[in-house]
Amino acid sequence: MTTPPIEHIADIAAAIGSADSVCVITGAGVSAESGLRTFRGVTGMTAEDHGSMASLWKDFDPATLATAEAFAADPERVTRWYDWRRLGCLAAEPNAAHLGLAEIERRVAARGAEFTLLTQNVDRLHQRAGSRNVVELHGTIMAWRCLRTGKEVEPEPRPFDRFPPRSPLVDDSSDPLGVLRPSVVWFGEMLPPDAVARAEAAAASCDLFLSVGTSSVVYPAAGFIQRARERGADTAEINLEPTPISRLVRWSVRAKAGAALGAVAAALGSRPGP
Ligand code: BV8
């Protein structure tokens, strides 16, 4: 049985091809096809698709662990969870969604137009796929911050040997602040001001705002689309299931991010011009 064509691909490709500025926001759904678990909702993946990532995940609830309070209460448990996720991200490969967005960025930039990729993901798969203008709204699991100095380090790609991990920037092994926490934005924490400023500017100046693989329930990330709508930009969403923005966007695509973004990149490639 042939799969039906994905709707609105030609419309989205045409909007990208004629835009002076494109702003895309992604969430965990873009990394689902790389085997990384999402926070909420369906993924269309099975437990075995996630391999070892499926085993421990069921014991951990991100909403309760992705907080400074959880870290203060049990730094060992929280840093074990984040180190396990970090190793899962390192073992994962970018999928067709990441590669499609990198190709779309290359084509937009080749025309001299602006392309900004806002991501809520902390896995660095966009950068590994070749995306360049990436704004990490929620930080990254690949960097960890010393509580004593506030400085960031990028740990080696192997498991920490103790939890919470000791900071290499603090010699005094008895210093209780001589430990590392993941450089991600926890619930209740402010987003990096420079990331917010870049996101606001991109959303407020784009001709097309495309939301991919996010449940659009976490703020302020879920609010940037409003800046684009206020400007009268075209808006589109690619997501496996309906979200609070599905009825607001001009083109709502119910499909897997890999297939949809691959189709958009292909449609762009078949258009005249660079
Ligand atoms: C803050 C990093 C000031 C850590 C994360 C209004 C304004 C401001 C704040 C708030 C507000 N209302 C409430 C708040 C507080 C809170 C918030 O938004 N809570 C929500 C839950 C109601 N916001 C904050 O705390 C933020 N801080 O604003 O500070 C402040 C403080 C207190 C009070 C007021 C103001 C900080 C938010 C950042 C939290 N950190 N992560 C980590 O990764 O561990 S958030 C976490 O959720 C991840 O970053 C994740 O990316 C993000 C959003 O989730 P999604 O990416 O959307 O993933 P999800 O699983 O939900 O959805 C995936 C979607 O993909 C699904 O729809 C699925 O159908 C789809 N899908 C799956 N597979 C595929 C697919 N689609 C296509 N293809 C597929 N293959």
- Site to probe by mutation for ligand 1, drawn from 187, 243, 253 as the one with most ligand atoms within 8 Å of Cβ, is 187
pLDDT for position 144: 98
Q: Evaluate: CB of 129 within 6 angstroms of ligand 1.
A: no
Question: Biggest alpha carbon distance in the chain?
Answer: 65
For ligand 1, say whether the CB of 91 is within 6 Å of any of its atoms: no
Per-residue confidence (pLDDT) for residue 37, from 0 to 100: 83
The answer to whether residue 46 scores a pLDDT higher than 60 is no
**Tokens read off for 24:** 């895309």
Among 142, 115, 143, CA closest to 131 = 115
**What's the pTM value of the predicted model, to 2 decimals?**
0.94
Question: What is the average per-residue pLDDT within 221-248?
Answer: 97
What is the pLDDT at residue 6? 86
The whole-number pLDDT of residue 273 equals 56
Return phi, psi of residue 205, to 5°.
-120, 5
Residue 54: predicted pLDDT:
47
Task: Please report the pLDDT score of residue 50 as a whole number.
Answer: 53
Q: For residue 183, which of 123, 116, 125, 98 has the smallest C-alpha distance?
A: 123
pLDDT of residue 52: 47
- Residue 37 has what DSSP assignment? -
Nearest CA to 210 out of 104, 82, 67, 136 is that of 104
pLDDT digits (tens, 9 = 90+) for 62-75: 778 999 999 999 99
Q: How far apart are the CA of 210 and the centre of ligand 1, in A?
A: 17
Give the ranges where the chain is alpha helix by DSSP (H).
9-18, 52-57, 62-65, 68-73, 75-91, 96-110, 125-129, 193-205, 224-231, 257-269
- Calculate how far, in angstroms, residue 273's C-alpha sits from the geometric centre of ligand 1: 37
66 CB under 6 A from ligand 1?
yes
Q: Which two tokens stand for residue 150?
A: 């506030």
Cβ–Cβ < 8 Å for 211, 233: no
* Residue-by-residue DSSP string for 221-266: GGGHHHHHHHHT-EEEEE-SS--TTTTTSSEEE-S-HHHHHHHHHH
For β-strands 139-146 and 152-153, DSSP reports them as antiparallel
Q: pLDDT averaged over the chain?
A: 92
Is pLDDT of 60 > 80? no
56 pLDDT higher than 50: no
- The predicted structure's pLDDT at residue 49: 54
Percent of the chain with pLDDT over 70: 91
Q: What share of the chain is helix, strand, coil (3-state, %, to 5)?
A: 40, 15, 45
At residue 80, the 3 state secondary structure works out as helix
Q: What mean pLDDT do residues 50-61 have?
A: 54
Which one of 218, 241, 253, 256 would you pick to mutate in the ligand 1 pocket, going by the greatest count of ligand atoms within 8 A of its CB?
218
The model's confidence at residue 271, banded by pLDDT at 50, 70 and 90, is: low
- Position 141 scores a pLDDT of 98
pLDDT at 59 over 90: no
- Give the residue among 28, 153, 167 at the shortest CA–CA distance from 89: 28
For ligand 1, the distance from its centroid to the CA atom of residue 2, given in whole angstroms, is 35
Q: Answer whether the bond into residue 164 is a cis peptide, omega within 30°.
A: yes
The per-residue pLDDT for 55 is 42
User: Ligand 1 centre from 54 Cα, in Å?
Assistant: 20
In the prediction, which pLDDT does 42 show? 63
Active site residues per annotation = 138
Say if residues 126 and 119 touch (Cβ distance below 8 Å). yes
* Residue 237 vs residues 198, 242, 251: alpha-carbon distances, Å: 21, 9, 6
Q: Is the pLDDT of residue 272 over 70?
A: no
pLDDT for res 53: 46
Residue 205 has pLDDT above 50, yes or no: yes
Write the pLDDT tens digit of every residue in 68-102.
Answer: 999 999 999 999 999 999 999 999 999 999 999 99
